[in-house]
Structure 1
Amino acid sequence: MILQRTLENKTILWLQNSNQYLIVQPIVAEIISLLNNQVTKEEIITALSDKNSTTNHKLSVIIDDISRLLTSPSKEKPNNYLVKKPQLFQYQSYYKINDVIIHVHYSTEYERFLVHPKFAHLETSKPEGKIDSFHVYSNDQHISFSINNEVIETWLLKDVHFFQGKFSMKIVEHMHQKIEDEWLGVFHASAISNGTSSMLFLGDSGNGKSTSLALLQANGFTCLADDFVPVAAKNKHIYSFPSAISIKKNSLQTLLPIYPELENSAEYHFKRLNKIVRYIVPNNNDYKQNLPCKALVFIKYKKDSDLAISKISNLNALEQLVPDSWLSPKIENASIFLDWFLKIPCYQLTYSDNTKMINTVTKIFNDDL
């Protein structure tokens, strides 16, 4: 199955077999449509040769490449890894998220390091109500994760970030009472709220997403999520995620006057990501909060630069967004995602002056740009 949308003389395709989004030229879209309707290669060459300056040989090569793409299997492959669940877990913590209690058992300090720093501010010593039991354990090659004695999945240690993503997804499911199929996707972004709508900040690691979020929450905005931003399928709202805001070393000088607690807060070295971070507690007191999305902002802090804000193409935004996101493989959700995403205003914001950045974000929220 293929979904198709047209924007700016380009075609956006979603391929169900690989859950892949492609932006292609009209000739490629036409070939895909014909192949999808079981038209033979020879018939396609005949149909297109009179309409295009492309040679028959080149058309043949293009059709072969597209055919392979359309029949390529899903990237997701089942694994047969097995990690024996230990009898003894060295660490355990209760985390309270609104009225949800999650009891996490860690087999060693290693597993605890992968999860606890982001959620330490949610830890409680007096759990009450329904409790879900999470267990995290590993051996020298793999890591496993189970909920209420049901194994969710097992990963190679080199893919431990997939475990962290799945763990966060299960927290989202439990706190918002929505199963995975009810989500459009999860974006690698930061999200803020002005109380009536939300805004997403995107960009490569180190561009200043989390620092901008910390500055904004100190200036009247609410932190909805940092690094892991879930979007629901039914209402297309941005939903809260309760992890702390991660702050890299090079942002400490900017943020210490606002968050003096950073001076003595614990420091965590994530070697795989080659970064050292500390954490700021989000100012969100209602993790049930969910709001429509006002805009997507690709943000970049650039020392000594003038503030520059401009609208960018949704096609450009899509190309930047997709590689770092988890997007639902359900055809209904993929269709909703495309229709939703292609209507959202997208901006590129470069800044060095924090006050100007905050004022500009305020203007976007107020439709005052």
Structure 2
Amino acid sequence: MTRRPPPLVEDGVVVALALLDVWAHWDIDEPLRMACGLGAAVVLLLRRRLPLLTYVLTLPSVLLSDAVVASLAALYTLATLSRPGALLFLCVPAFAFSDTTSLPSPDFDLTETRKLIALGYSAATAAAAVFLGQLVRTRHDLSLRLTEISQARDHQQLLTAQAVLARERAELAREMHDVVSHQVSLIAVRAGALQVGARDAETKDAAATIRRLSVQTLDELRHMVGVLRASGGQPTELTPQPALDDIQRLADGCGIETELTMDLPEGLPATVQRAIYRTVQEALTNTRKHAPGATARIDVRHVDGAVRVRVTNTAPTQPPLPLPGAHHGLIGLRQRAELLGGTMTAGPTSDGGYEVCVMLPAHVTE
């Protein structure tokens, strides 16, 4: 699509053409006619704001001289800015009459063939300017209409996508409620029965941990199902959201021997606190899955204006458990850190262990 020149440039070109037309018909012996031609060229500067008045003020130039470019330009502008109507088409005979009449001594006789031909030629010239202006206006209106249609289509596609997403979320919520929640409930019940029936303290403690984690998972699932079912309504926050105070409880209940060190300022944003918690949670989960028997060290500090979360585990002492996994945990941690303006690195250590390190900006709020 070609870009139109700026309005100031267009006005300058039109005025220059009108002045060139006056110069082509210049006659030093007729100052009044030349003054009308020059005035009509200057009046064109008003054609965008006052198109009808501009056209009327250019007619004397056509009536008194042979300079017609200014009047045709004004008529074209009037046609581009006006809808079809009687007033617009009355401008055509007005131009034709002015062009075929000579003042101060008018010589207009419709019985002469020559006059009729000249009148028809002038009317056709004015009509061409009107039709061209109307064509430009129609093209502009059509462009606006196409833009509106495109916007409406995009909005409809967005609504359709939202409706599909809402159905998918509702279906996912049903599956989580009917399948996952049911199975986790069975785990909690069986763990409770094992806790009551077991005789040794170690088995009772393990069963209690399983039951507590199952109950906590059910609570989080219930909130997630509520969020999924609320799609299309008001935004719903996943509650309760973890914070720094929950990290100690997470370390104590993860089933791994851990060492926790935290040195952070007060007033960290909730998003940063949540990212710290999720980093520790994912690292401990990976240790439990891929490095059975290993110990973990959690170090959370404020370093050089940033929060550094480092979770390191030792080498496993038992073969890893064949647990299912989608391998999206570390990817999710990296994406979460990048969204907050931080970084994440992960890799094996020299002693056969593994380390996850996340750096997050520490925007402390008062």
- In the superposition, the TM-score normalised over structure 1's length comes to 0.25
* Highest RCO, 1 vs 2 (Cα 8 Å, sep ≥ 6): 1
Higher helix share: 2
Q: Select the structure of larger CA radius of gyration.
A: 2
Higher strand share: 1
